[in-house]
């Protein structure tokens, strides 16, 4: 999930960058059910708020490498605000034997992620959050500050879609369609902070706002 190219962002419809969400309007949901037969299962999510990401690495005097990736987004900020955090941290020996030492995904308190103008701030503790899923490691304190650096900005409007037809030769195979409709704005940023005791400075990072509706249809 990590890249050295400036401003890369990941996730299932990877979001890069941004500043606080000023337009609280919710985009109309795409009409996806037309043309489908049967009774599909529909899941819908509305994003209307700030997002931020950072990819970082450090090396020590012995040549050991620690690197990580972190993404945070405000989801459904209009009707049911929640903040979702994802992170992973790897450690590699000088011989490039790497192991994941920390990883997690889940909700954090909304007040732990704030946005103001060209700055964003994250301060949370996944080690004491009972609702957060820690896949690897014990979690702990995470504190990151982002600031727009003016190197680039990016805006997009429209629809992104992806279909996973499944194995059409197998009876009962599931076909899944994903669609993301709305607008995205992103800016390159500098970031510094620490992720569970691993500090970094001036890492590859981005900030942004997302105003979109995502729909997943399975049948």
Domain ranges of the chain: 42-218
Ranges of residues in the chain whose predicted pLDDT is under 70:
1-40, 42-48, 76-79, 156, 158, 160, 164-175, 178-184, 211-219
pLDDT of residue 13: 32
- Structure token pair of residue 33: 């059910």
Return the SS3 of 112: helix
Q: Using CA atoms, how far apart are residues 158 and 181, in angstroms rounded to an integer?
A: 6
Q: Kindly report, residue by residue over 31-89, the tens digit of the pLDDT.
A: 444 444 456 676 666 666 889 999 998 888 777 889 999 999 887 656 678 899 999 99
Contact 147, 54 (CB under 8 A): no
The model carries a pTM of 0.66
Strand partners, 43: 216
pLDDT of residue 64: 83
DSSP 171: T
Q: Using CA atoms, how far apart are residues 208 and 35, in angstroms rounded to an integer?
A: 34
Q: Using CA atoms, how far apart are residues 190 and 188, in angstroms rounded to an integer?
A: 7
Q: Which of 111, 84, 96 is nearest to 57 (CA)?
A: 96
Which residues lie below 8 Å from residue 15, measured CB to CB, with a gap of 6+?
9, 47, 51, 53, 71, 73, 184, 186, 208, 210
pLDDT of residue 11: 36
Phi, psi of 112, rounded to the nearest 5 degrees: -80, -10
């Amino acid at each position: 999930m990590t890249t050295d190219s400036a401003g890369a962002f990941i996730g299932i419809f990877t979001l890069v960058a941004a500043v606080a969400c000023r337009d609280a309007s919710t985009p109309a949901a795409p009409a996806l059910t037309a043309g489908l037969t049967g009774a599909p299962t529909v899941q819908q999510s509305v994003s209307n708020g700030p997002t931020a990401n950072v990819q970082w690495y450090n090396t020590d005097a012995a040549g050991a490498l620690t690197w990580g990736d972190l993404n945070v987004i405000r989801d459904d900020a209009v009707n049911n605000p929640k903040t979702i955090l994802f992170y992973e941290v790897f450690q590699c020996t000088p011989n490039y034997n790497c192991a994941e030492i920390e990883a997690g995904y889940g909700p954090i308190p909304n007040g732990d992620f704030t946005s103001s103008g060209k700055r964003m701030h994250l301060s949370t503790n996944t080690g004491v959050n009972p609702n957060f899923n820690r896949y690897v490691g014990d979690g702990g304190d995470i504190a990151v500050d982002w600031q727009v650096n003016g190197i680039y900005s990016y805006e997009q409007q429209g629809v992104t879609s992806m279909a996973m037809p499944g194995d059409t030769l197998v009876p009962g195979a599931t076909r899944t369609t994903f669609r993301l409709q709305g607008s995205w704005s992103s800016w390159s940023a500098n970031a510094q902070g620490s992720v569970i005791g691993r500090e970094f400075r001036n890492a590859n990072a981005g900030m942004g706002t997302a105003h979109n509706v995502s729909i997943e249809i399975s049948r």
